[in-house]
Amino acid sequence: MNVPTMAELAAKGESPEILFWVGCSGSFDDRAKRVTKAFVKILNAIGIKFAVLGTEEACTGDPARRAGNEFLFQMQAMSNIQVLNGYNIKKIVTACPHCFNTIKNEYPELGGNYEVIHHSTFLQQLISDGRIKIEGGVFKGKKVTYHDSCYLGRANNIYEAPREVLQALDADLVEMKRCRTTGLCCGAGGAQMFKEPEKGNKDINILRSEEALATGASTIAVACPFCMTMMTDGVKNKEKEAEVKVKDLAELIAEAQGL
């Protein structure tokens, strides 16, 4: 797989069209790594000049800030901003809504100003520009439901781009009762991903997975690595993993294109 790093490009005196910010999940989590690779395949297939930071990338600090550790967050943010500014980065695309939100909304106050795009919006733009053409209709008539990530939806008002991607796939999009502005969280945000939930009568991801399964969709589309983990676990807990797949938008496009 061709994955150029910023260091390589800079050494050749080149600059990329976009910087692909991979994020911690996309770099380390086995399931999320498949999404990262699917996205890279799409970029390579349509010939977008991109680069990643590779080992120069570090956690944006999102979970630290949300768990209350502002020092740690700002340490992370400032050193990331130093790296990004050092390479004179202008445009960042990421598949993680948490990285997206932090870099887009929280880095400017600390000196990091970039155009930040989530991959759902980016893919939707590529589709409407005709740079991604979907043929073959792998998903034609298949029931797909979309789970809104809080950090895309309510946090940043991105509700339609992911849905337009699914519609472009010719899938039969079915909505859960709680969707868009009232979409139910998967349970991972606010640093919950990194600890056991408090005492209660149910785990949030189980409740959300039940809602997704109730639509009868055979695919639960997500656009966030945390939602991916939570929904996959929820579907497994309900012993539905054979019939129902949890997939990221990038994976669905890569699949439709036979990549």
Binding site residues, another protein, CB under 8 A: 1, 3, 5, 22, 24, 26-28, 33, 36-37, 40, 52, 54-55, 57-59, 61, 63-72, 74-76, 78-79, 101, 105-106, 109-110, 150-151, 154-157, 181-182, 184-185, 187-204, 207-208
d(CA 251, CA 68) in angstroms, rounded, equals 34
State in angstroms the smallest separation of the CB of 66 from another protein.
5
Q: Is there a contact between 105 and 66 (Cβ–Cβ < 8 Å)?
A: no
State in angstroms the smallest separation of the CB of 178 from another protein.
8
Give just the sign of the alpha carbon dihedral 162, 121, 52, 81: negative
Of residues 128 and 157, the one with the C-beta less far from another protein: 157
Of residues 33 and 245, the one with the C-beta less far from another protein: 33
Is residue 68 packed enough to be buried (19+ CB in 10 Å), middle (13-18) or exposed (0-12)?
A: exposed
State in angstroms the smallest separation of the CB of 188 from another protein.
7
Of residues 2 and 141, the one with the C-beta less far from another protein: 2
State in angstroms the smallest separation of the CB of 96 from another protein.
12
Measuring CA to CA, how many Å separate 95 from each of 79, 214, 238? 21, 27, 27
Of residues 145 and 149, the one with the C-beta less far from another protein: 149
Of residues 154 and 240, the one with the C-beta less far from another protein: 154
Interior/surface letters 220-233, b for 16+ CB within 10 angstroms, e for the rest: bbbbbbbbbbbbbb
Q: Is there a contact between 259 and 134 (Cβ–Cβ < 8 Å)?
A: no
Q: Is there a contact between 88 and 15 (Cβ–Cβ < 8 Å)?
A: yes
Q: Is there a contact between 50 and 19 (Cβ–Cβ < 8 Å)?
A: yes
State in angstroms the smallest separation of the CB of 186 from another protein.
8
Of residues 204 and 222, the one with the C-beta less far from another protein: 204
State in angstroms the smallest separation of the CB of 142 from another protein.
27
At 193, list the tokens. Answer: 């991903």
